[in-house]
């Protein structure tokens, strides 16, 4: 019996099915929060790269006009 089955058996054996549901909800919410944070970090990094390239482009254009 693996660890997940042991945990489920312990909860069901003590009639704590509601607590098992809350535990699963908490794990799922934490997982999706971490996933969202990772995606937000990646989007922020891409935007920072875009702004940096735009700054380099503007600096190059200003140098050509002078």
Burial 35-54 (b: 16+ CB within 10 A, else e): eeeeeeeeeeeeeeeeeeee
Evaluated on CA atoms 20, 26, 29, 35, the torsion sign reads: negative
Residue 52: predicted pLDDT: 98
What span, in angstroms and rounded, lies between the C-alpha atoms of 26 and 22? Answer: 6
- Asked if 15 and 21 touch (Cβ cutoff 8 Å), the reply is no
**Predicted TM-score (pTM) of this structure:** 0.62
What domain count does the chain have? 1
How many other CB atoms are found less than 10 A from the CB of residue 60?
9
Residue 30 belongs to domain spanning: 3-65
- The 10s digit of each residue's pLDDT in 2-30 is 888 888 787 777 767 777 788 889 999 99
């Amino acid at each position: 019996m693996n660890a997940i089955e042991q945990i489920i058996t312990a909860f069901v054996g003590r009639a704590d099915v509601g607590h098992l549901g809350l535990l699963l909800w908490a794990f799922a919410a934490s997982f999706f929060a971490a996933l969202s944070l990772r995606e937000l970090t990646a989007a922020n990094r891409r935007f920072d790269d875009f702004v940096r390239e735009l700054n380099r482009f503007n600096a190059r254009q200003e140098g050509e006009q002078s």
